[in-house]
Structure 1
Amino acid sequence: MSEETTSTSSNTIAIISHITLIGWIIALVMHQNDKTTLGAFYIRQVLGLFLLMFVSSFIPFLNLILVPVVFVLWILSLIGAVQSKEQLTPVLGPMFQDWFKGIS
């Protein structure tokens, strides 16, 4: 497989993983067929953001603060995916990479 095809595939996986939970699942399935470091990186980052949003939904007052913060982190992550750069989510990114290192 050529480097250009791999780059396009990894970039596609990285971007699709940001588009709702269904997009994340599609990206995970695509990643299983064509494993790339960029795809795995963003699958782990977005999983962490989705879980943070899910947990925050159970804490009423914290939810008011975390929803906008997670949205901004999601936007920053999406920008990194579009630019094909492994850009860690501020503060939590290294933890997401460590916690979900089984996804590779």
Structure 2
Amino acid sequence: MENQTVNEGKTAAIIAYFTIIGTLVAFIMNNSKKNSFTSFHIRQFFGIFIMGMINKYLVFDMLGKFIGGIVFLFLVILWFIGFIGAIKGEEKQVPVVGEYFQRWFNGI
């Protein structure tokens, strides 16, 4: 990845990891001039967010608080890995599911 692309998109990529509102702000910031680095991190966080909603509304209700808590801890670790990648200027996919997020949300 070009250093200029990373530098131009780094702020929006970091903002994307702060709640879904931050993701919307980053998406709007990235909408006029598509930056591949920012888009990558928006897709990563959006996938983590969707998994969090599934955990909240399905796993907690169907499998209980213990399993839901384990999934929540896993999601926090994924968030941390993605956030640190954005700060460092790396396009490093989050473990296990990052590849799927890039494919599923390719239009972002």
TM-score if structure 2 supplies the norm length?
0.87
Indicate yes or no: 2:19 matched with 1:30.
no
Q: Which moved more, 1:53-62 or 1:92-101?
A: 53-62
Aligned to 2:88: 83
Deviation string, structure 1 residues 42-73 (Cα, Å, up to 9, x no partner) = 01000000000011002212321111110011
Distance in 1, matches of 2:103 and 2:17, equals 19
Gaps of 5+ in 2: none
Distance in 2, matches of 1:65 and 1:15, equals 25
Distance in 2, matches of 1:102 and 1:19, equals 21
Aligned to 2:18: 19
Aligned to 1:73: 78
Aligned partner of residue 95 in structure 2, secondary structure? coil
Distance in 1, matches of 2:21 and 2:11, equals 15
Distance in 1, matches of 2:89 and 2:70, equals 29
- RMSD over equivalenced CA pairs, Å: 1.3
Picking from 101, 105, 108, the partner of 1:100 is 105
Deviation string, structure 1 residues 24-48 (Cα, Å, up to 9, x no partner) = 0000000102211100100100000
Distance in 1, matches of 2:39 and 2:8, equals 12
Alignment-mate amino acid for residue 85 of structure 1: E
Gaps of 5+ in 1: none
